[in-house]
Structure 1
Amino acid sequence: MSQLSARRARILPVIAGAAVLAAATVVAAQGASAAAAGCRVDYTISSQWQGGFGASVAVTNLGDPITGWTLRWSYGAGQTVTQAWNATVTQSGSAVTAVNVSYNGALATGGSASFGFNGSWTGGNPVPTAFTLNGVACTGGVTPTSSPTGGSPSPQPSGSAAPKTVRVFWLKPTDVAFDQRYPDGIAAVMREAQSYYRQELGRTFALNNTVVEVVNGEHDRNWYITTNCTGSDHYWCVVGNMHQELMRRFAIGNPDSRWLCVGLISAEETNQSGGGASPGWVVLSGHDADGAAGVNGPMNRWYGGMVHELGHAFGLPDSTSTDGTPMSASFYSYPNTHFSQAQKNAILAGLYGGFLS
């Protein structure tokens, strides 16, 4: 997570300043070659018998080429996948996740991949009604991720965004391949933080059904790192650019009374890019995303760090000393760190205290 220093206090003015710069450059950055995302899914029950069935699924990529895919859907009648081929299929409750295997992950525009599975059922076996591919809803059409006319692009939420929830985004630049470890790992960190807040406060925040919304970024990593910077100081550039893109594309305020938002981007300049939080927002760069995915350091650091940054998003300042609370460097000792009673009171009385139940 971000370094504990006075620099965190700069996040609000820096982000606000970036909004002016972004407004001046966004039209020039958009063009007819804007990235697009879209998909179509054909789900067919190929055979059915008492208590069991076979199914085949064909997924067609209608957007820009992808190098790997994850298809998700949910069953509404208690069906269970028992065996699959041409994809790795897992299930948690009603939620099913199918991930490409080594030979069918790359899908060009218009390209398709198929897989099959056997399953069991009890009361019924209706066909699922909604699918997402790499976090994008499969509607049979294409949604632009930027507008060639310079207008406001359509948002691409990969799941529902219920009010008074913590809404989480992973922004993937155009030159970063999709990797399922990232949305899965970020979701695990958020669930851990959710459990910690319940332990500490006796109540906690809600997450959406699709915990992490995967956003295909409009630019490559270098653009996020170097654009809208002041001189050689790139500390806030990458997260400031992500923040502005998420707010614009999803029509989110800073802060926003509907959601408390968390954004992570897989981009940073080594030892130059950072992140932090302010009321209503957590914005984090590449090393945090890597850590959540399990590829950068021990997990207690990332668990404690998210608890710390969420504390800022709920309105808490940094502690003035290493005092055993997660608002100080004591977050590195997670889970052996605890909010003070004053911090608990401040969270519950703050702008987002009503989100906790």
Structure 2
Amino acid sequence: MTSTVSKNGGARASVPKQILNRLDKLDQRFDRLDAKVDAVHRDVLELRAELVSVIDPKYRPLLAVGSRTIACLAVCILAACGGEAEPVAPVQPPPAPPPEQPPVTVRFVYASPSDRPFNAEYSAGIERALVSIREWYGEQLGGRTFTLQSSAPEWCQMAAPHESFITPPGYPYVWDAVETAVQDCVPLASGGDPHVWVVYADVMEPCADSYGLGRGGGGLAFMGAWDLEGLSDPEWDHCGGGVLGFGRWIGGLGHEIGHAFGLPHPPGCDAGLSTCDREALMAVGFVAWPDTYLREDEKKILLEGPFMNTTSSSEGG
């Protein structure tokens, strides 16, 4: 049964309840939409006022469209897309990328015992060696090489005298004592992050010690006074073995810094096998530097690691 509904809402009793409920819901939705139109209308008025002051005069007629009409269209479109206009969530900016980490650098330290003064020839010899071996690594790796913290070594005056490093009490090896003593000058640490450290200690070990300070690994390399003499004196005769020339001592740096970068000896060399690639830098080829080479497996390790992070043409790194 139906009945005509008067303008003032009479005869509701004759309208089925189900239809009345739907009409009420529609009425409520129109009320909400009307409120949203009012809110958008205010925004349109503000925007139009701003546009009038800045827009090119030839485009101002476009603003003649009624602001209420614009607001209605905006709300109706939103309602058609989502059933009912909902507030548009503000666009969130993408998260900031993590700060870029500085490249790993190689730091050279020239360390003197308390009873040995600074030697300018030693410092200059280290500088020549580090520049030369950096360029050589670049030649071997197609231009990739390591970054230097500085083109000149840092000097550290250690607190202990020379004799205390020859037979260091409480330390199994000389380099352990040097590593501890240098901590007073620089934050020496293993691991290669953020620095690989190369320490030249002015400690002259006995010839029978078999290169006790020639060690490298885990982001650290230690060289002794034999190396300092060899890098500064072209006539240096190491333990009566004859004059070896600068190349042997630069090659020694290349070998030990290779260990600091994570390179092992070639397969079979530690066991004395005939298959040892003896002429490679990481075997005994360093004595003939620069006439030696990095093996292909060693190049792969270096190029995939964090240490070869610049080009040899870059000044200082």
The TM-score, its normalising length taken from structure 2, stands at: 0.56
Say whether 1:270 aligns with 2:206: yes
Structure 1: 4+ residue segments shifted above 6 A: none
Distance 1:323 1:344 in 2: 17
Offset from partner CA, 1:174-210 (integer Å, 9 cap, x none): 1112221011100100111001001001211122335
- The structure whose residues are more often helix, as a share, is 2
Task: Determine the structure 1 residue equivalent to 2:232.
Answer: 293
Say whether 1:304 aligns with 2:240: no
Say whether 1:171 aligns with 2:111: yes
Task: Determine the structure 2 residue equivalent to 1:226.
Answer: 167
- Correspondence for 1:317 among 242, 246, 264: 264
Say whether 1:250 aligns with 2:178: no
- The structure whose residues are more often strand, as a share, is 1
Offset from partner CA, 1:96-142 (integer Å, 9 cap, x none): xxxxxxxxxxxxxxxxxxxxxxxxxxxxxxxxxxxxxxxxxxxxxxx
Distance 1:352 1:203 in 2: 9
Task: Determine the structure 1 residue equivalent to 2:144.
Answer: 203
Residue 294 of structure 1: how far off its partner (Å):
2.1
Distance 2:132 2:106 in 1: 13
State percent identity of aligned pairs.
25
Distance 2:190 2:283 in 1: 25
Secondary structure class of the residue paired with 1:289: helix
CA RMSD of aligned residues (A): 2.2
Contact kept, 8 Å, 2:105 with 2:307, in 1: the verdict is: no
Question: Residue 338 of structure 1 aligns to which amino acid in structure 2?
Answer: Y
Is the alpha carbon distance of 1:199 and 1:186 closer, same or farther for their aligned partners in structure 2, counting shifts above 3 Å? Answer: same
Is the alpha carbon distance of 1:209 and 1:354 closer, same or farther for their aligned partners in structure 2, counting shifts above 3 Å? Answer: closer
Runs (5+) with no aligned partner, structure 1: 1-161
Residue 246 of structure 1: how far off its partner (Å):
2.4
Question: Residue 182 of structure 1 aligns to which amino acid in structure 2?
Answer: Y
Residue 277 of structure 1: how far off its partner (Å):
0.2
Is the alpha carbon distance of 1:203 and 1:353 closer, same or farther for their aligned partners in structure 2, counting shifts above 3 Å? Answer: closer
Question: Residue 188 of structure 1 aligns to which amino acid in structure 2?
Answer: R
- Correspondence for 1:333 among 267, 285, 288: 288
Contact kept, 8 Å, 2:104 with 2:306, in 1: the verdict is: no
Residue 343 of structure 1: how far off its partner (Å):
0.8
Say whether 1:181 aligns with 2:181: no
Question: Residue 333 of structure 1 aligns to which amino acid in structure 2?
Answer: A
Offset from partner CA, 1:190-247 (integer Å, 9 cap, x none): 11100100100121112233520011111110112222356xx7xx32x221112224
Contact kept, 8 Å, 1:167 with 1:211, in 2: the verdict is: no
Secondary structure class of the residue paired with 1:292: helix
Instruction: State how many pairs are aligned.
Output: 191
Offset from partner CA, 1:260-285 (integer Å, 9 cap, x none): 11001111331224321002111111
Distance 1:354 1:182 in 2: 28
Secondary structure class of the residue paired with 2:233: coil
Is the alpha carbon distance of 1:254 and 1:204 closer, same or farther for their aligned partners in structure 2, counting shifts above 3 Å? Answer: same
Is the alpha carbon distance of 1:356 and 1:244 closer, same or farther for their aligned partners in structure 2, counting shifts above 3 Å? Answer: farther
Residue 322 of structure 1: how far off its partner (Å):
3.8
Query: 1:1-357 counterparts in 2 under 5 A?
Result: 164-201=104-141, 202-228=143-169, 236-237=173-174, 239-247=175-183, 249-271=185-207, 272=209, 273-294=212-233, 296=236, 297-319=244-266, 320=269, 321-350=276-305, 352-354=307-309
Distance 2:138 2:309 in 1: 14
Distance 2:289 2:192 in 1: 29
Residue 355 of structure 1: how far off its partner (Å):
6.5
Residue 356 of structure 1: how far off its partner (Å):
6.7
Secondary structure class of the residue paired with 1:287: helix
Question: Residue 293 of structure 1 aligns to which amino acid in structure 2?
Answer: S
Is the alpha carbon distance of 1:247 and 1:354 closer, same or farther for their aligned partners in structure 2, counting shifts above 3 Å? Answer: farther
Contact kept, 8 Å, 1:164 with 1:355, in 2: the verdict is: no
Runs (5+) with no aligned partner, structure 2: 1-101, 237-243, 270-275, 313-317
Structure whose CA Rg is larger: 2
Offset from partner CA, 1:134-192 (integer Å, 9 cap, x none): xxxxxxxxxxxxxxxxxxxxxxxxxxxx8521100010111112221011100100111
Distance 1:355 1:252 in 2: 23
Residue 251 of structure 1: how far off its partner (Å):
2.3
Is the alpha carbon distance of 1:300 and 1:331 closer, same or farther for their aligned partners in structure 2, counting shifts above 3 Å? Answer: same
